[in-house]
Structures are given as structure tokens and as C-alpha cells.
Amino acid sequence: MDGPAILAAHAALQRLLAGFPKEYAKDCSYTAKAMEVSVAQHGGLYFVEINRRLEKCGWAAPGFNPSAHWYELYAVSPEGKVLARYPYHP
């Protein structure tokens, strides 16, 4: 992964985590440990998709997700600025 892709992934993950209620901070399901980040580049922007992977917390079976369609998608500049978030509506 190149440097700007790492910046984009970090910026999107930080944006996501900052949006969770503070009382969820100790619940692994809402931490970076439970998140899987994928990055793609197109047209000079990075697109970051974040999926929750609860099996990384040690208590769920692989592939288990109580919200089957839960994901976040962000457009991020090469400098690491989050430009847009795709609205998630299950």
C-alpha cells in the first residue's frame, strides 16, 4: 500500500470511530480491532470501505455480523482529508 492510501485509510477509520457514542469505546465491536479496511484509488481519490468483522473480537463465528449490510464508504483525498461519506441506510 502506498503512503497516501495509508493516510486515506487512517482518516476514514478515525472519522468512523469518532462517530460512535463514547460509551461504546470499551466494546470491541466498535473499535479499530473489529474493522476491516479496504482502499481503492480512482480519479485521484481514494475510496475507503470499512466493514465490521466481529470475529476479530474473539466471540463471534467467522462471517457473523448482526447487521449484514453494515459498512461505511468514504472518499478521501491523497492528503488524508475525508471529502464525503456514502450514507448508510439499512
For the stretch 10-45, pLDDT in tens is 999 999 999 999 998 889 989 999 999 999 999 999
Whole-number Cα distances in Å, 13 to 2, 19, 22, 36, 61: 17, 10, 16, 9, 23
Question: What is the arrangement of strands in the sheet containing 45-52, beginning at the earlier edge strand?
Answer: 35-42, 45-52, 71-76, 82-86
Higher pLDDT, 57 or 75: 75
Which residues are CB-contacts of 27 (< 8 A; sequence separation ≥ 6)? none
- SS3 for 13? helix
| pLDDT of 4 higher than 90 | yes
Which residues are CB-contacts of 43 (< 8 A; sequence separation ≥ 6)? none
State percent of the chain over pLDDT 90: 60
